Structure 1
Amino acid sequence: MHPRRSGQEVLMCDICESVFVQSHCELCNLNLCKTCVGEHLSDSSVRHNVVPYSHRKSTPNYRKCPKHPKRQSELYCENCEIPVCIICVSSGKHKGHDISNVLEKFSSKTQNLQKDLEELETRIYPRYQEMASDVQSEKAELVTIYGKLITAAEKQGEVWHQEITAIVNRQTSDIQEMKKKHLFTLNKNTDEIKQKIIELKQIISDLKSILKSNDVSLTSTYKSRNSEFRTLPLKVRITLPRFSPRKISKDQLNEMFGSLSSLSINTEHGDTMKSPGAVSSHSVKPLLDEPRLTAIIDTGYKQGLFSVSCISEDQVWTRGDTNTMKLFNLRSKLLTSIQTESGNRPEDITVTRNGDLVYTDYKSKTVNLVKNKHIQTMITLQGWRPRNICCTSSDDLLVTMDSDDRTQSKVVRYSGSTETQSIQFDDQGRPLYSHGYYNNYQYISENKNLDICVADREASAVVVVNQSGKLRFRYTGHPSITTESFDPVGITTDSQSHILTADWDNGCIHILDQDGHLLRYIRNTDHLSTPWGLSVDTRDNLFVADYHIAKVKKIQYLQTQC
């Protein structure tokens, strides 16, 4: 505190230090008396801002000038980007530089600091917390996931043990039966030989008696049986059975037992969060003002078109209200058609990273892979029925399903045919997804940020959870679009993490950013009639399954990158 001001509330002029303060220069942060104001304003090189002391603004804490410690850095050099004092400016060192009021710079910088603080507290820090929580949740699930793998391997081992034991028991029984038959045959042969021996002994005894008796009558009536016994009894020849073990290599055993896919650990660059001021402009910028229709594919389905899935930029699989799935090019040429193995209508279709078709069969409770036109069942469910399906960036399958009694719904992740994740409830134990009998369509897609997006028609909402299954948000439509109730059916995502969902009742497609904010929509006047299934190719072209007219429409809705 100034020695002249200690112990009292009256402030003195900072220049003469002898007269009470009446004014204040906000530029120089000096308290002035009436006399010193004129002297202070005489320096025309600086645009002072002298106001009555009572009208002064809150005084910031100025830094002392490092070159002139007795002066405060009340000015700011825009070229050098440092605070400076009046002496620094008048010395000529900053000649030709843009000099501004440090308070103005202070004000703008303070606003930027406040914006940074708000963004850190409300957006960035919570996302880091969410990521940390996701990792913890994933770690907590490891016991369950790997426990299921171990259980599956042990169950397969038990099956093998049971089969091997059954095989050994069958062969042991066969061996015992052979031994019994062999012994019976030998015993029968022995009995026949023993009977002949008894007869021979009797004949020998009789001959000796005749010879000893010298009886003419007995000797003359004797008839020889030697010729009969010269033919020996049948000799049984038996070829003994042999056991020939089949040699099986360890590789063959491993292949027959079942394969375990390798653990794949990929480190991906985290999403770059856009600044609040840049979010809307960057998200809206790549969207075309007017979407363009670039192709129409006539599928020929008579009873409606439900699903479309891109295999490339000019080939799409389609699924209508029949048991046949069709592959078309952009010229409506039918390239391939596949009928379901069961004869049932497929519930949904998707395409793997290798370009193979996968479809769900609700009635037979199966998920099936079509490879080289051959159908193989990948997954057979018990107590649940598969609805809709998508293939993820890691080539996993995400399947929506409901229970046999239709009182529960969930999303299950499969790696091959192995279940690795089940998503059904939120943190409070409430169901994430609706269930019902009539409109229980739950189309599904994975976003580029690995969020799992479900168009839950029964709930009239798009439900988005993160990779660990934690609820991020629900989108329930926007009043500017939904003259009717929001009715989401098909859903897909693009390279910019946009979420696109078809709104059946309102005849349009909503385009959302990755946080669920509406960016724009494509109306039925924009080439659409009754949009249902959606798919996006690698160049972000949108393919729409137009239900009633059974045509696929290719639409460009993003600006082409130069």
Structure 2
Amino acid sequence: MDPRTSAQDVMRCDLYETAVVQMHCDTCLVNLCKTCVGEHISTDESKDHKIVKFQYRKSTPLYPGCTTHSKERCKMYCKQCDFPVCISCLESNQHLSHELSNILRVLDEKKDMFKKGRHELNETIYPTYQDIASDVQNRKSQLEKEYGDLSTVITKHGEDWHRKIDKLVKKLKAEVDKMKNNQLQTLQKNLDEIKSKMSQIKHEINSVKMAVDTNDLSKLLSVTSNVHRYRNLPPKIMISLPKFIPGKCQGKELNKMFGTLVSSSLTSDKHGYRMKTTEKSPEAGSSPPVKQLLDVPETGSSINTEYNEFIYSAACLSDEEIWTRGNDKTMKLYSINKGSLLKSITTKSGNWPSDIAVAKSGDLVYTDYGDRTVNIVKNGKIEKVIGQQNWNPRNVCSTSSGDLLVIMFSYNKQTKVVRYAGSIEKQTIQFDDKRKPLYSSGYYDRYITENRNLDICVSDEGAKTVVVVNQAGKLRFKYIGHTPAQKNRPFNPLGITTDSQSHILTADINNDCVHIIDQDGQFLRYIECGLSEPWGLCTDTNDNLFVVQFRNTQVKKIKYLYSI
């Protein structure tokens, strides 16, 4: 069926409403029956009426009238003057030596430009603003929850001090509410501005659509594309939550003893958001599609490994295979979907491997604390890559560049991170700007990973802290857990991994959960899913999380991000 003639009702003549439409005036955009054609032409004989069959309406270009020569139509376009011109204009020599173009070609180019602009507004800009609005709304909800958690902590601490500090409790809670309201108002203002922009974008989309659909060239030439106004995204409001620092109940300085609030903050990051994209490009690896956290993480299949007592680590070889390390000298490769054992590799020394990783080449890498080596397994053969005399390699990860990051531990209990390109030492990370150790001393577990932004993330069990430095080794932040913890036990970080969104995930064995923080150290949420003593962590290319459960020797698969 021809879409130009199909309709739910019969079209009627604009002059004689009971007659069925048969003709159309492309000049005046009027629907006519055959009887009314003559009457329509005679009403204004000064016009060049283009009468066509109704099904061919809008097929005749409506050339704009010349502003200089009122009876002429402009069929050419002067590029130097950026203006439509008629034959009389050309004969007047006003545009002599100017570059001229057929106006239909110019209009086609403009329509193409408007179509591209409309496509960008529909497919990229507006969806990006939708994501930004959703992000602000989600952070508002999270802010409400965390301020609620903070108020609960303050209330509980106030109950321990009984009636004598009720007045102080109310004062501090009022401060919390004031900070919360201030930040919520700021986020609401931010959200209102974003929604206003979204409304303007919708209006722009409609205006461009009308311009593309019209056959009135004068109207089309009068439309200006404003797509460029919306490419500059709004700044992302960064919020720092206040912290409650409890004091001991002794002495007279009740304000200081009870505890104080560390002031919150509001900052604006103009680079906080990225434009949504629906096309693959060379930069796609550095700007992945935005994935939101699931409201409730979903548990997938579990792999029952064959270790006798304990399992410590896992590393994804692919989306279908995963390496594991337990309490013996054998590293085992399992099928993720079937849970079956595919391959086993025994360490060259017969010692337990301290940690495992998958190199960029796909080869298995393991550290041997006993003989102070880092080894790679190629084609079933074990090759020593790194050997040490005074330092013992403990945990290891492979970077996006193909380097290895190794946590080293010495007999005098010092800890450092060393970057290797093959067997060549490229970088050592051990102290902060004040020459204080970044990592704890002592015989504790420390796991390491690299984020998408090239930050180096270490879970330090000895310090009960996640330490994050940038690519140059400069301290960015430390994460000391989130209050209240799932089981109200001290934060005890072990395995650590990252995902395509630059989230940092760390296993908390004391609280039977996984913490998710963003790339700037802000707590996002816990993953519980019935976990039991989570130890090692890794993710595959689809952002599925694999959690090693220490004592029951299972590897549990968890989905915690929406799929794209």
What is the TM-score of this pair, normalised by structure 2? 0.50
Larger radius of gyration: 1
What is the TM-score of this pair, normalised by structure 1? 0.50
